[in-house]
Amino acid sequence: MTVAVAEDQIELKIRERLQQIGRTARVDGFRPGKVPAKVIERQFGPRVRNEVLGELLRNSFSEALQSNQLRPAAEPVFDPVNADPGTGLSYTATFEIYPEITLAPVEQLSLKRPVCEIAAADVDRMLDVLRGQHATWTPVERAAADGDQLTLDFKGRLDGADFERGSATDFELVLGAGRMIDGFEAGLQGVRAGDTRTLSLKFPDDYGASDLAGKPVEFDVTVKQVAEKSLPALDDALFAKFGIAEGGLEAFRKEVEDNMGRERERALQRRFVAHVHEQLKLANTVELPKALVQNEAQRMAAESRRTLMMRGIDADKMPLPGAEIFETQARDRVKLGLLMAEIIKTSGVVAQPAKVHATIERMAAGYERPEELVKWYYADPRRLQEIEATVLEEEAVSWIAARAGVSEESISFDDLMNPRQTAARDREQA
């Protein structure tokens, strides 16, 4: 966009500014307010012209955007800027704009709403999970098998040399948990306390640390202990740990099933929202501003760094990937954000205060003092805005679902709560 400002407009602004300065300026040899205009212009003119040109540049650009109804997606680049005295001000601003979005009719979307029944077997499995959280480990002299816990010392070698983060002492590993790289746990099947093994493996090509990805590695492993899991009995002692003082197994099962029901409702909503988002993206084509994608990728890279630091990992000592690795995800997020913004504008949905309050109360229900969490959200406008944004998105999704074709799809509780395991199982079967 090319913009021009006439010299007479510039001169007018400069004269007004110099007159204001002249009323209060202190110049040696003159009383305040009595300095001749020529002296004021000679002493303050160049500085004032630069200030006026800067203001006119910003204001003229803003006015040009409004008159042309343009929404910039990033800061403009001004080039060239011509502002020589007597020539006025002219410049070319280059910038990306938000795209014009024409939504595909939501009535043409085919959506699947997941439904899930909690069976008695699901509750039984959850009881086993809870018992596992309070399990004890008993050392054994037999050979290790899946489900056993090994206490290990290990040291890794890369190209024959020790490498950072490649060793550990008294490391606890449950065989079959899948925590280590391929081959590590398989290579320790059948070990006994006191055994040593050397494992020749390879880091996955997509390993998180780029300096290790795809490289061969050797681990010298010393097994210090093999222990088997002992689950606690379903008795009053266990029930008391979960706040059940009376009613025995029946009361405990009911409490567990009620909690599972609440988790199910949240998971069903999350899954349906994700499905609606995916179908919305598939049904619409959007030209994405590069600046928005780059900014989102940089934000994701910074978020990844903060996550590592919160886990106690020194991010400065790790070869972290740059923002470019997040570009695909960033494009996905930017596209969804633009589409949802258009849906909200088109539908006219709003985050009703009553629904915002109900959402916060629902989130606080699982806390010991829910009223304190409610006050915490309302005490900070930024925290409250996060909930309002969530409610606004839920309203937009409901608006879409009310107009699209929706059919129900049954899903097991296990698949609902563990979608990654389900996806991995589907890939293996494929």
Q: Is the pLDDT of residue 185 over 70?
A: yes
What mean pLDDT value characterizes the chain?
A: 89
Which pLDDT score is estimated for 154? 94
Architecture of domain 136-230: Roll (3.10)
pLDDT given at position 317? 62
DSSP three-state, residue 268 = helix
Domain ranges of the chain: 2-94, 106-119+237-429, 136-230
Could you report the per-residue pLDDT of 160-170, keeping only the tens digit for each? 888 877 899 99
10 Å Cβ neighbour count for 296?
21
In angstroms, rounded to a whole number, what is the distance separating the alpha carbons of residues 362 and 354?
12
Helix locations, 75-173, DSSP H: 120-133
pLDDT of residue 121: 95
* 31 has a pLDDT exceeding 80: no
Tokens representing residue 325 in the block: 């690795």
Give the fold, CATH level 3, of 2-94.
Alpha-Beta Plaits (3.30.70)
pLDDT band at 339 (very low <50, low <70, confident <90, very high): very high
Give the C-alpha separation, 55 to 13, whole Å: 10
* Cα-based distances in Å from 262 to 259, 265, 285, 333, 363: 5, 5, 36, 28, 11
Pick the CATH number of 106-119+237-429 from 1.10.10.410, 1.10.3120.10, 1.25.10.10, 1.25.40.10: 1.10.3120.10
Percentage of residues in the chain having pLDDT higher than 90: 70
> Whole-angstrom Cα distance, residue 351 to residue 346?
15
pLDDT at position 423 is: 52
Measuring CA to CA, which residue among 149, 196, 151 is closest to residue 169?
Answer: 151
What DSSP letter does each residue of 281-295 carry, written as one string? HHH------HHHHHH
In tens, the pLDDT along 58-90 reads 999 999 999 999 999 989 998 878 888 888 899
What is the crossing angle of helices 7-24 and 37-68, to 10°?
A: 130
Backbone angles phi, psi at 290, to 5 degrees: -60, -35
- Predicted confidence (pLDDT) per residue in 409-430, tens digit: 999 999 999 876 655 455 444 4
Query: What is the structure's pLDDT at 267?
Result: 94
**Tens of pLDDT, residues 100-109:** 999 999 999 9
